[in-house]
């Protein structure tokens, strides 16, 4: 438990604060969106201590903020948000994480579960054959070094030129799938090597492609705007920048770890290593991060293209052609944004941008519901335009494996009618539903806090796990 | 230093692997990631323990085609050197499907680490994205060496 948990002050029904006075090195308070029950889970690991550490970053403004799915990570807690004031506030690669622009993309099919009928298993199986999953793995999009450069600079736009994806996909992607300022020189040869053959691959861990049914609509107007109908089918894709992003983060954490002494920065955790955004080191990281983020948007585009291919083979070309992208949103990223009269660098580590009206996706764990929400003004006022990114882990991977085997979980999910494809039994067990917090409760807090409102609840029909 | 003669068969899911008198690693509960504690009678033993921990995470039932890699690292910060050592295995697992087995040559002089590691090509089971600097440690206390790393998975 955090040493400062006893200093938690309840500000309102869903917001708690550890005042900046709790530690001499905190520059701002640490705030957590949670109800009492979620808070009890949150104080069970070191996530609040990590949030206090974030509050020590030079240039941080207002508060270090945690979403209700917060859990212990490294440096930043997962579910952490920090805004630093530009130009001289710091950028911290650890505040973005190794999987730069890990995010989710939702596709809506022009089909209901009833119309899918007995083809469900065939569709999930075909998706699993079309999207390489697991550690390493080669994708089916082969890039020359020059083509990789184009992806790093232009993101999915570069794939459109190869017939991968559609123009309207870009219109439904955060930042149109392209962050300005990608710096090819700041991406190391090793990062390129790790990512060069991974476009269109899912990766491992908690990444997935899930076939879902829209079980319930809460806001029919917003749902219609997103192209969602009750009983309709959706596919949710969760992946990121793969080895390329992992290496970019590793490289730049090391650079900043060495540079901090020059800037007179002392931090309680080396993983928070940072430098002024205006410094050469800060600029290099932001250029490399933009390149990795563009790669991740392109990766999800390639995966979506493969999913459309699977849909075409199982359900026909008309269904594939009418499969629309609802939205694609990042949840590991740092972005320059204007909030009020300040230009800020908003770090979101396991947290989703939630600007008013924007689609926000909160996947639950395997076998449980996922939610589509719409950002609310409250997010701009209270969390720099941010909502949470998932249910949030409650149990370690080891603890999850101790409770259930991959085989038993597979049988349990299949008994519930969920088709499962996963290359690793252990990996499946680690993502068991009980290893995560209750997603309905997490979403309830997000809505009560005024960060985003519920639009639709999606339930799984089939899952392909990394 | 010569190769360790007592590299144990990785025990999937084990919490503690002991190598009498030499080194050990154990995985500590961590909500989001994997924390590894290392202990050894010597500084070099910490690097051997780290290799074994990684091998336990990565080993699968692949073709086990023998492979060997030369590793050269340099940094004056020994804790960072430990992180770099493991990061080499993260990199090799991803680009060469390499799972380390034993150290066949090892030299740690000043800031320089030079080693040759034998292992096999496999389809690494656990994706380790990176070795973080969170709680990174390599220290000596009363003649015993301790290391700690948190792996992003």
The per-residue pLDDT for range A321-344, each reduced to its tens digit, is 999 999 999 999 999 999 999 999
Residue B87: helix, strand or coil by DSSP?
helix
| For residue A80, pLDDT beyond 80 | yes
A293-308 per-residue burial string, b: 16 or more CB within 10 A, e: under 16: bbbbbbbbbbbbbbbb
Neighbours of A144 (CB within 10 A): 9
A169 HSE (CA, 13 A, CB side): 27
For chain A, give the percent of residues with pLDDT over 90: 88
Q: Does B127 touch chain A (CB under 8 A)?
A: yes
**What are the tens digits of pLDDT across the range A95-130?**
999 999 999 999 999 999 999 999 999 999 999 999
- Residue A16's pLDDT is 98
Residues of chain A contacting B58 with CB distance shorter than 8 Å: 135
Does the pTM surpass 0.90? The reply is: yes
Catalytic residue status for A389? yes
**What are the tens digits of pLDDT across the range B80-101?**
999 999 999 999 999 999 999 9
Give the model's confidence band at B63: pLDDT under 50 very low, under 70 low, under 90 confident, else very high: low
**Domain A5-394+436-465, CATH homologous superfamily name and number:** tRNA-splicing ligase RtcB (3.90.1860.10)
Report CA A74 to chain centroid distance, whole Å.
16
Give the model's confidence band at A396: pLDDT under 50 very low, under 70 low, under 90 confident, else very high: confident
CB contact under 8 A, B134 and A269: yes
- Residue B21's pLDDT is 54
CB contact under 8 A, A190 and B91: yes
Q: Chain B closest CA to A272's CA: distance in Å?
A: 8
Rounded alpha-carbon distances, angstroms, from residue A234 to A62, A274, A326, A461, B6:
38, 39, 9, 10, 52
Average pLDDT of chain B, as a whole number: 85
Q: Does B153 touch chain A (CB under 8 A)?
A: yes
| For residue A162, pLDDT beyond 50 | yes
Beta pairing, strands A64-74 & A103-112? unpaired
CB contact under 8 A, B13 and A249: no
Contact (CB, 8 A) for A324 and A336: no
Q: Does A188 touch chain B (CB under 8 A)?
A: no
Residues of chain B contacting A273 with CB distance shorter than 8 Å: 133
Orientation of helix A145-154 relative to helix A280-315, angle to 10°: 100
- The residue of chain B nearest to residue A392, with distances taken between CA atoms, is B32
Backbone dihedral angles phi then psi of residue B122, each to the nearest 5 degrees: -155, -175
Q: What is the average per-residue pLDDT within A163-170?
A: 96
CB contact under 8 A, B152 and A426: no
Beta pairing, strands A324-330 & A30-33? unpaired
**What are the tens digits of pLDDT across the range B7-40?**
333 333 334 444 555 779 999 888 888 999 999 9
Q: What is the average per-residue pLDDT within B124-145?
A: 92
Residue B32 has its nearest CB partner, among A393, A399, A426, at: A393
Q: Chain A closest CA to B132's CA: distance in Å?
A: 6
Backbone dihedral angles phi then psi of residue B100, each to the nearest 5 degrees: -70, 150
Q: Chain B closest CA to A118's CA: distance in Å?
A: 33
Mutate to test the interface with B, among A53, A74, A195, A402 (most CBs of B within 10 A): A74
- Between positions 46 and 65 of B, the ones with CB within 8 A of A are 58
**What are the tens digits of pLDDT across the range B120-132?**
998 887 779 999 9
Contact (CB, 8 A) for A50 and A78: no
CATH 3.30.70.1350 assigned to B16-152: no
User: Where do we find the tokens 């390639």?
Assistant: A302
Give the model's confidence band at A137: pLDDT under 50 very low, under 70 low, under 90 confident, else very high: low
Give the model's confidence band at A3: pLDDT under 50 very low, under 70 low, under 90 confident, else very high: very low
Average pLDDT of chain A, as a whole number: 95
- Residue B6's pLDDT is 31
- Residue A138's pLDDT is 75
What are the residue ranges spanned by the domains of chain B? 16-152
Instruction: Report the distance separating Cα A19 and Cα A40, nearest Å.
Output: 19
Residue A271 has its nearest CB partner, among B97, B123, B133, at: B133
Give the model's confidence band at B2: pLDDT under 50 very low, under 70 low, under 90 confident, else very high: very low
Residues of chain B contacting A70 with CB distance shorter than 8 Å: none
Backbone dihedral angles phi then psi of residue A464, each to the nearest 5 degrees: -110, 115
DSSP bridge partners of A15? A12, A33
**What are the tens digits of pLDDT across the range A44-67?**
999 999 999 999 999 999 999 999
What are the residue ranges spanned by the domains of chain A? 5-394+436-465
CB contact under 8 A, A246 and B123: no
| For residue A249, pLDDT beyond 50 | yes
- Residue B126's pLDDT is 73
Least confidently predicted of A1-10, A192-201, A213-222, A431-440: A1-10
Give the model's confidence band at A140: pLDDT under 50 very low, under 70 low, under 90 confident, else very high: confident
CB contact under 8 A, A424 and B125: yes
Give the model's confidence band at A237: pLDDT under 50 very low, under 70 low, under 90 confident, else very high: very high
Backbone dihedral angles phi then psi of residue A157, each to the nearest 5 degrees: -55, -35
Please state whether the peptide bond connecting residue A87 to the residue before it is cis, i.e. omega within 30 degrees of 0: yes
Q: Does B68 touch chain A (CB under 8 A)?
A: no
- Residue B16's pLDDT is 43
Instruction: Report the distance separating Cα B45 and Cα B20, nearest Å.
Output: 12
- Residue B8's pLDDT is 33
Between A392 and A447, name the one with better pLDDT.
Answer: A447
| For residue B3, pLDDT beyond 50 | no
DSSP bridge partners of A427? none
């Amino acid at each position: 438990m955090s040493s400062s948990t006893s200093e938690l002050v309840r500000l309102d029904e869903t917001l708690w604060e550890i005042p900046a006075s709790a530690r001499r090195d905190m520059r701002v308070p640490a705030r957590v969106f949670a109800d009492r029950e979620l808070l009890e889970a949150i104080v069970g690991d070191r996530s609040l201590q990590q949030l206090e550490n974030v509050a020590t970053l030079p240039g941080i403004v207002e508060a270090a903020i945690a979403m209700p799915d917060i859990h212990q990570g490294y440096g930043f807690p997962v579910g952490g948000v920090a805004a630093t004031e530009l130009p001289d506030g710091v950028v911290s690669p650890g505040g973005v994480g190794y999987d730069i622009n890990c995010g989710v993309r939702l596709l809506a099919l022009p089909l209901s579960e009833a119309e899918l009928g007995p083809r469900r298993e065939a569709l999930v199986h075909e998706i699993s054959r079309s999207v390489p999953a697991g550690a390493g793995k080669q994708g089916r999009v082969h890039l020359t070094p020059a083509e990789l450069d184009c992806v790093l600079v232009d993101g999915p736009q570069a794939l459109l030129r190869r017939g991968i994806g559609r123009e309207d996909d870009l219109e439904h992607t955060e930042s149109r799938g392209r962050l300005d300022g990608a710096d090819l020189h700041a991406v190391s040869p090793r990062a390129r090597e790790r990512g060069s053959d991974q476009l269109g691959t899912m990766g491992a861990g908690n990444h997935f492609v899930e076939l879902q049914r829209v079980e319930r609509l809460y806001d029919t107007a917003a749902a219609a705007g997103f192209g969602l109908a009750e009983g309709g089918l959706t596919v949710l894709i969760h992946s990121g920048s793969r080895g390329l992003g992992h290496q970019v983060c590793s490289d730049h954490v090391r650079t900043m770890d060495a540079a901090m002494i020059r800037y007179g920065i002392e931090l309680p955790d080396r993983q928070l290593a940072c430098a002024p955004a205006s410094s050469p080191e800060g600029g290099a990281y932001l250029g490399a991060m933009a390149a990795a983020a563009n790669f991740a948007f392109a990766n999800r585009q390639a995966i979506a293209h493969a999913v459309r291919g699977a849909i075409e083979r199982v359900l026909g070309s008309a269904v594939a052609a009418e499969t629309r992208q609802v939205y694609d949103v990042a949840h590991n990223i740092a972005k320059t944004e204007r909030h009020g009269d300040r230009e800020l660098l908003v770090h979101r580590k396991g947290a989703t941008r939630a600007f008013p009206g924007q689609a926000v996706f909160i996947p639950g764990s395997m076998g449980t519901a996922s939610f589509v929400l719409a950002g609310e003004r409250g997010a701009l006022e209270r969390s720099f335009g941010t909502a949470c990114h998932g249910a949030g882990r409650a149990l370690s991977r080891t603890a999850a494996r101790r409770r259930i085997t991959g085989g038993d979980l597979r049988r349990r999910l299949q008994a519930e009618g969920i088709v499962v494809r996963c290359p690793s039994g252990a990996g499946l067990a680690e993502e068991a539903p009980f290893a995560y917090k209750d997603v309905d409760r997490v979403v309830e807090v997000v809505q009560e806090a005024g960060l985003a409102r519920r639009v639709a609840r999606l339930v799984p029909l089939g899952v392909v796990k990394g | 230093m010569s190769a360790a003669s007592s590299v144990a068969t990785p025990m999937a899911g084990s919490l503690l692997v002991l190598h009498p008198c030499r080194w050990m690693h154990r995985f500590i509960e961590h909500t989001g990631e994997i924390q590894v504690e290392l202990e050894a009678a010597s500084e070099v033993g910490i690097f051997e323990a780290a290799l074994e921990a990684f091998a336990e995470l990565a080993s699968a039932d692949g073709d086990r085609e023998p492979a060997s890699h030369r590793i050269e690292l340099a940094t004056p910060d020994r804790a960072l050197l430990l992180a770099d050592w493991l990061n080499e295995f993260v990199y090799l697992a991803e680009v060469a499907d390499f799972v380390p087995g034993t150290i066949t040559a090892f030299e740690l002089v000043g800031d320089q680490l030079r080693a040759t590691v034998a292992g096999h090509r496999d389809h690494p089971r656990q994706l380790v994205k990176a070795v973080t600097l969170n709680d990174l440690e390599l220290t000596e206390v009363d003649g015993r060496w301790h290391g700690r790393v948190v792996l992003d998975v």
